[in-house]
Structure 1
């Protein structure tokens, strides 16, 4: 089994390819713009809860607080388990107010899924996702999902 790592670096981007037995296995492209924090996981502190928006601002150590909507606090599957409901579909489960799920000053683990833009902070979620080459780890999900590589 032969493995090769090919690197192509230019002033604007760096490309890395992993080749096994002549077959391309993985490609990574990094552009030299502003570095992205998407995918980073932080222990944040809830700074402010906005009940009217059903959202919260979370301090993750960046210049601006990150924004988290109530749908990003926990999955509907987890709500079904917590409430013991037997809903026909996920849409039948109503989300409780965000102030009942988290509170100001609370420390929570969040993952960035959208970078900060302009005057707005990053978007974060409590639904962690840790991808690797053959697996995506979803720590809060009770079921195992299968993946197909094509």
Structure 2
């Protein structure tokens, strides 16, 4: 005779749920920063300092489109986190990892903004992975 019962995952603690909400709020801020940066680079790429001799020298309009797309994806993922969608945590982890990498390459153009966004990305990664550990 086989036992077909499924083992339910343990309910998340209040701390874990709070960490996910915190990550979603910070993700909204990161997404908004990305959208604003992207739009400013698309509308007026003279706003950013032109860096000569940089190994990853992209056209600033291209950086603008990258930032805009990342920002919209991050905002959509934040909505998923607020709705407690199962896919949202994994997608958020993947997107903030790419966001941190993208911001690393953007440091010569806007150092303070890029370092701030990297720090916020790391904060979201910490919050989401910490909520997984608290749920286990």
TM-score when normalising by structure 2: 0.26
**Larger Rg belongs to:** 1
Larger helix proportion of the pair: 2
RCO comparison, higher one (Cα < 8 Å, 6+): 2
Larger strand proportion of the pair: 1
TM-score when normalising by structure 1: 0.25
